[in-house]
Amino acid sequence: MSQNQKREISGTGDQSDYSWEVKANDRRFNNLFTKKSLLFFTKKKYADNSIKTSKYNFFTFLPLTLFEQFHRAANLYFLFVIILQTVPAISTMPWFALMLPLLILLTIRGIKDLVDDVARHRSDNAINNRPCETLQEKSCSFSREKWKDIQVGDVICLRKDDFVPADLLLLYTSEPASLCYVETADIDGETNLKFKQALMVTHTRLCSPEALAAFDGKVVCDDANSNMHSFIGTLEWNGEKYSLDNNCMILRGCKIRNTEYCYGMVIYAGFDSKIMKNCGKFTVKQTELDLMMNSLMVTVFVILIACSLSLAIASGFWTTWLMEKHNYIPPLRSNITPTYSAFLTFWAYTILMSTIVPMAMYITLEFVHLVHSKYINWDLHMYYVEKDMPATVRSTNLNDLLGQVEYIFSDKTGTLTQNIMTFKKCCISGTLYGTNKCDENPEVYDFTWNKYAEKQFSFQDRSLVDLVCQNQDNQLKEFFRLLAICHTVMVDKDGDELVYKAASPDEEALVNTARNFGYVFVSRTQDSITTNELGAERTYQVLALLDFSSARKRMSVLVRDPEGTIKLYTKGADDVILQRLHPGCTIVEVTEQSLEIFAQESLRTLCLAFKEVDLSVYSDWSRRYHQASVSLQNRLQCLEMVYDEMENDLKLLGATAIEDKLQDSVAETIQLLKNGNIKVWMLTGDKQETAINIGFSCGLLDDDMDILNEQKICDILDDYQEHNNNLSGSGQDLLDNGIFRKHRSSLQHTKMALVVTGDFMVRILGTSNFKIETTHFFRKLTDRFYRKARNPCGEEASMREYAFVDLATQCQAVICCRVTPKQKAMIVQLVRKHKKVTTLAIGDGANDVNMIKTAHIGVGISGLEGTQAVQASDYALAQFSYLQRLLFIHGRWSYLRIAKFLRYFFYKNFANVFCNVWFGCFNGFTALRVYDSWFIAFYSVLFTAFPVLTMALFDQDASAERSLQHPELYRVGQMGALFTYKIFAWSVVKGLITSLASFFVTYGACHDTAGPGSTCDYQSFAVITATSVLLTVTVQIIFEMSYWTLAAGLALVIGPAAYVILSLLTQSSPFYTSLPTIFTFEDATLNTLRHGFTWLMILLAIGISILPSLLASFGTSMFGNNKVHHRNSYGARRQTALNTVAMTTPFKRGSLSRRSSYAFSHKEGYADLITRGTSLRQSDANVPEVPGEATEE
């Protein structure tokens, strides 16, 4: 019974098990289905095909952006203070001091959001307005419509190289038996072709637009879901039911290849499609510094309230004392009590010192983030010339987080590899061919003598080409003959060119190798295969095709050559082939040595063998083969037993070595990341062998590692759970509780790696979905509650999650294979949930979108594999290797600069604001400001802005080259050592010291000095104090800067110069005469600063203020070492961190075990397509005509 016939048998499940019903060509029927929306409202059950990723429209932009802006606590605080300023009784500052900066801040952020959303609108419109040919039932023809107008049940026509607009049920194609070849590069980054096949009943009956217009079949299937590898449903048509599976479905985002045209019925559209279900939700990402800033803003606000409250209470007591002791002085109006006066004083001081929450810092920080993003965009070392692709920053507020990454989660295909297989070396009859890497100036021999050879193919060993041309070595003939015959590749012709359709890139590479050496696969039929061997055409009769499976790790073909000899050709993994050789084989040892050489160079290997089969042996075997092929029970097992009978006593021909081409500098990048204490996890949908091969190729795995197998992982997790249960759920880490000590006796190395599959993770962790906490405060509360309540409550699943993550994070490398897009995101979520680390996810396909959105930082590789990963990312790069500069240069510098920026900004604000507190103690706590209002307005935005701005833009502690040479410097950001709560407290203390020195030095020098020519009046006192604070904070930044430029030197002068100029301007007589209530300090600065003793007071205040910084710098240099930058200390920590976990594995590479190229091979079943003939064209006359071009609607 054929595969199609089996699929057309009615399903055994009850129809009520499915709730998704779609009828072809009947929009009215499909629109009858509804689902519950909000409250008692309902909406259509089936989504339309339009995609919307934008956040705003013309009407909602202003209210929504303001709503989002005022979700920030700082903005609400500023708005609150501005409202207070409108109350005359408590207003102590001019309205423009806070209103203007807030408007600037909201405008800058609003414009940035608008620009980002316009880009999303353009992307959405570009996708939604793509053209597609949709069947018009009335006219029985196809007309062009936009993707957004497609609905479920529509029948559409797709042509070669078209993208699939929705999840389709394949109905008919121009290929034999309605095969359809698709490329899934836009989904998973893989460029090798995959095939889908329509039901035979639709293939025979729905081959014309007229038949399709009359088609009224109904598909009943499972609801829209995210499982991209599963589809279960039935087609009800003409009173019959036909079983449907994933082989009938073409998913949105695929590209039609090598198929002239095909018809499909829309099952899932728009956000119901599987790829969109896997995209995850958009979340606003915040850096660790942002989260810390939210906490610090609360701390600063508490300090402000505490100071205002203390001064208000003191004001009440002082007023009461004054009324009692000096009743002849009326301190208050008759209708105001001391309590009410204190209440007003509280709000007055709150407004006066409101600049302690630095609004200017937020404005400057937005500009700094923007410039840091431009640095990345402008970096020519991250510009990919071949594709004209620069690095692109899509989220400007995450740059400093790039300097704190601890875990990188990377896709494989298209991210680490190019998915290009290149034939590099081979061993034939014990002789090694191919130039070693150490050979200099290898001779490259071209293949122009072969008209079938690829133009770009070359082989660096002329001796092999000469032997092929001599055509005398029978072993060499059989070697290349095997490559040309033993495969499941299908061939098509484009003029005189042969076009191979391979299901895996390694298959195509081997067939192309034979083709380039003169053994050309020309054509095949259901029972024959034709080759051109050095110009002579030969046709082999295919007697049996022994298909590949992951368990067999080999495939064979049994043929009768033109001379009548029956031969078996076999290729497969070395550990399988070498066990099936004839005992008299003499080249086994030298071939194994060659395989070890290949393995050392991380090449992917295959062993080739053959044998001649007697006619009598074949006759007996053929009878058993036929019985097994028609067996109704355990057919596969029976076939494999028969295959094993034939595949023995083989004669070894040799081995091939294929390079799975990595992207440029991938191995060097991963090694640099390791040296920078960054752990790299590979998350891929490929097979385990594939992932391990690439792991060794890119340096993620090495020969000194033991690889944990699944059984060992289960044993460790079980022991951990039992141990914690015995300790009443203490939740100890794996290394702390001694669990690994009893397992270490079976381990041979101290460096370990963990390799797991998606199915295994489902078995041990389940399929739970986890949410990432969005705020630092709630995350801390959750973590504390979770750690205390999890184990005592017996939450077994959570405990296993924690144990698995703890186990994985102790390994030097982690590889997760056969994982779905949701599982990729789940792994990232687990690490974020159980480890306080910064994560980065990098990928190139739509299957990486969810992972990219889930990680703290998402990086999309912009290549030929689609743009969905880039559109969902925070940073777009052309090559994986550009992570070096992105993290170790731009990320580290950005974190360094912003950390210094924040701690200095807090320092200078506290230094300025605390002077009002000390002044309140001497003015009767009346909320009288110590400075001119214009000094308050321009202090942060002009007078002290330029030095801190240049430091935030240009400062660096090491050059770009040195940062790459010493990746251990990156440890600074991972530890968060440059801006912590302790450093914030030190900034507050320094600000306190500066304010004390500036105020009390001036107060002490001016005390009781009244007289002609003295400077003891209020305005002179205010000028001296303000000048002392300004010059002190300007000098203080000298201790912060590590990298001096001309701009930094000028910035130190611009601030004080601007202060003098603006002071002279705002204190001039014309302004005072015109507006005396606003310009109150007439010529105060000019009259005060012209005295020499005034500058002596200022210099004394500066000296006292910077003394703590001088002592701290001297103490650090003389008596202590910087623990963060000290390389020996880092090396010691890193050596300690290597005492982690691992285990032995069947893949153990103690003697450099080889890695089979079948890790990349296709799934089983391709041989069945060939032997049934469903994939082969019989003749051009049987090919149906391509339907006419669609008409514009």
Does position 1017 have pLDDT exceeding 70, yes or no? Answer: yes
Band (486; pLDDT cuts 50, 70, 90): very high
Q: What is the pLDDT of residue 234?
A: 92
Q: What is the pLDDT of residue 5?
A: 39
The average pLDDT across 672-690 equals 88
A 10 A CB-CB count for 732 gives 15
**Highest mean pLDDT (candidates 62-76, 459-473, 1150-1164):** 459-473
The answer to which of 647-656, 674-683, 1176-1185 has the lowest mean pLDDT is: 1176-1185
**pTM exceeds 0.85, yes or no:** no
Closest CA to 273 of 151, 383, 358: 151
DSSP state of 356: G
Provide CB contacts within 8 A for 348, sequence distance 6+.
90, 91, 92, 927
Q: What is the pLDDT of residue 268?
A: 95
Describe the crossing of helices 981-1006 and 892-920 by its angle, rounded to 10 degrees. 40
Sequential DSSP letters for 375-415: HHHH-GGG-BTTTTB--EES-GGGGGGGGS--EEEE-SBTT
Closest CA to 164 of 280, 239, 267, 95: 267
1189 three-state secondary structure = coil
Does position 751 have pLDDT exceeding 60, yes or no? Answer: yes
- Bridge-based pairing of strands 528-533 and 536-546 is antiparallel
In single-letter form, the type of residue at position 322 comes to L
Tokens of residue 495, six digits: 């003029």
Provide CB contacts within 8 A for 422, sequence distance 6+.
509, 658, 659, 661
Q: What is the pLDDT of residue 1136?
A: 38
Please say whether the beta carbons of 840 and 761 come within 8 A: no
pLDDT in tens, 399-413: 999 999 999 999 887
Specify the higher pLDDT residue, 664 or 9: 664
* Main-chain phi, psi angles of 627, to 5 degrees: -60, -40
Q: What stretch of H or E contains 915?
A: helix 892-920
Please say whether the beta carbons of 345 and 312 come within 8 A: yes
Please say whether the beta carbons of 919 and 349 come within 8 A: no
The answer to which of 474-478, 495-499, 1092-1096 has the lowest mean pLDDT is: 495-499
Does position 653 have pLDDT exceeding 70, yes or no? Answer: yes
Q: What is the pLDDT of residue 1076?
A: 76
Q: Distance between CA 517 and CA 515 in Å, rounded?
A: 5
Does position 731 have pLDDT exceeding 60, yes or no? Answer: no
Specify the higher pLDDT residue, 681 or 11: 681
pLDDT in tens, 248-297: 999 998 989 878 899 999 999 998 998 888 776 666 677 888 888 878 88
Closest CA to 946 of 1039, 1027, 1047: 1047
Q: What stretch of H or E contains 1095?
A: helix 1092-1119
Place of tokens 């010192």: 353
pLDDT in tens, 798-831: 777 888 888 888 888 999 988 888 888 889 999 9
Q: What is the pLDDT of residue 571?
A: 93
Q: Distance between CA 671 and CA 1156 in Å, rounded?
A: 24
DSSP state of 89: T
Does position 848 have pLDDT exceeding 90, yes or no? Answer: no
Q: Distance between CA 947 and CA 949 in Å, rounded?
A: 5
Mean pLDDT over all residues of the chain?
A: 81
Specify the higher pLDDT residue, 312 or 724: 312
The answer to which of 578-592, 726-740, 962-976 has the lowest mean pLDDT is: 726-740
Burial 1142-1159 (b: 16+ CB within 10 A, else e): bbbbebebeeebbbbbbb
List Cα–Cα distances, 1144 to 230, 737, 815, 1139, 1141, in angstroms. 34, 22, 16, 16, 11
Specify the higher pLDDT residue, 938 or 483: 483
Q: What is the pLDDT of residue 435?
A: 66
Does position 1130 have pLDDT exceeding 50, yes or no? Answer: no
Q: What is the pLDDT of residue 96?
A: 67
pLDDT over 70 percentage in the chain: 82
Q: Which segments within 631-727 are labelled E, that is strand?
A: 651-662, 679-683, 705-708
The answer to which of 683-697, 711-725, 960-974 has the lowest mean pLDDT is: 711-725
Burial 30-66 (b: 16+ CB within 10 A, else e): beeeeeeeeeeeeeebbbbbbbeebbbeeeeeeeebe
Q: What is the pLDDT of residue 766?
A: 66
pLDDT in tens, 329-362: 666 555 677 788 888 888 888 888 888 877 778 8
Q: Which residues pair with 182 in a beta bridge?
A: 194, 256
Does position 1098 have pLDDT exceeding 50, yes or no? Answer: yes
Count of alpha carbons within 13 angstroms of residue 962, beta-carbon side: 7
Please say whether the beta carbons of 260 and 1186 come within 8 A: yes
Place of tokens 């994986």: 880
pLDDT in tens, 938-948: 888 889 999 99
Does position 793 have pLDDT exceeding 70, yes or no? Answer: no
Number of helices and strands (H, E) in the chain?
A: 42, 36
DSSP state of 349: H
The separation between the first and the last C-alpha atoms of the chain, rounded to the nearest angstrom, is 45
The average pLDDT across 455-482 equals 87
Does position 387 have pLDDT exceeding 50, yes or no? Answer: yes
Does position 3 have pLDDT exceeding 60, yes or no? Answer: no
Q: What is the pLDDT of residue 1193?
A: 39
Q: What is the pLDDT of residue 344?
A: 86
Which residues are part of the catalytic machinery? 411
Describe the crossing of helices 1092-1119 and 981-1006 by its angle, rounded to 10 degrees. 150
Q: Which residues pair with 610 in a beta bridge?
A: 569, 651
Q: What is the pLDDT of residue 856?
A: 93
pLDDT in tens, 569-590: 999 888 889 999 998 888 999 9
Band (788; pLDDT cuts 50, 70, 90): very low
Q: Distance between CA 754 and CA 498 in Å, rounded?
A: 43
Specify the higher pLDDT residue, 933 or 216: 216
pLDDT in tens, 278-288: 776 666 677 88
988 three-state secondary structure = helix
pLDDT in tens, 1158-1182: 444 555 656 766 766 666 655 444 4
CB-count exposure of residue 12 (10 Å: 0-12, 13-18, 19+): exposed
Provide CB contacts within 8 A for 383, sequence distance 6+.
389, 390, 391, 878
Band (721; pLDDT cuts 50, 70, 90): low
The answer to which of 238-252, 304-318, 427-441, 478-492 has the lowest mean pLDDT is: 427-441
Q: What is the pLDDT of residue 633?
A: 76
Handedness of CA 845, 849, 854, 856 (dihedral sign): positive
Sequential DSSP letters for 877-903: ES-GGGHHHIIIIIIHHHHHHHHHHHH
Percent of residues in the chain assigned helix, strand, coil, to nearest 5? 50, 15, 35
The answer to which of 487-491, 777-781, 809-813, 836-840 has the lowest mean pLDDT is: 777-781
pLDDT over 90 percentage in the chain: 36
Q: What is the pLDDT of residue 462?
A: 83
List Cα–Cα distances, 694 to 276, 453, 659, 667, in angstroms. 29, 28, 10, 10
Q: Which segments within 646-727 are labelled E, that is strand?
A: 651-662, 679-683, 705-708
Place of tokens 């095709």: 545
Please say whether the beta carbons of 692 and 984 come within 8 A: no
Specify the higher pLDDT residue, 269 or 779: 269
Q: Distance between CA 797 and CA 310 in Å, rounded?
A: 51
Tokens of residue 1025, six digits: 């104090």
A 10 A CB-CB count for 895 gives 26
Please say whether the beta carbons of 878 and 863 come within 8 A: yes
Q: What is the pLDDT of residue 801?
A: 82
Tokens of residue 1047, six digits: 């701009």
> What HEC string does 409-424 produce?
EECCECCCEEEEEEEE
Provide CB contacts within 8 A for 634, sequence distance 6+.
none
Does position 1135 have pLDDT exceeding 50, yes or no? Answer: no
The answer to which of 129-143, 160-174, 331-345 has the lowest mean pLDDT is: 331-345
List Cα–Cα distances, 691 to 682, 765, 1056, in angstroms. 8, 21, 61
Closest CA to 843 of 248, 412, 249: 412
CB-count exposure of residue 222 (10 Å: 0-12, 13-18, 19+): middle
Q: What is the pLDDT of residue 280?
A: 61
Q: What is the pLDDT of residue 617?
A: 93
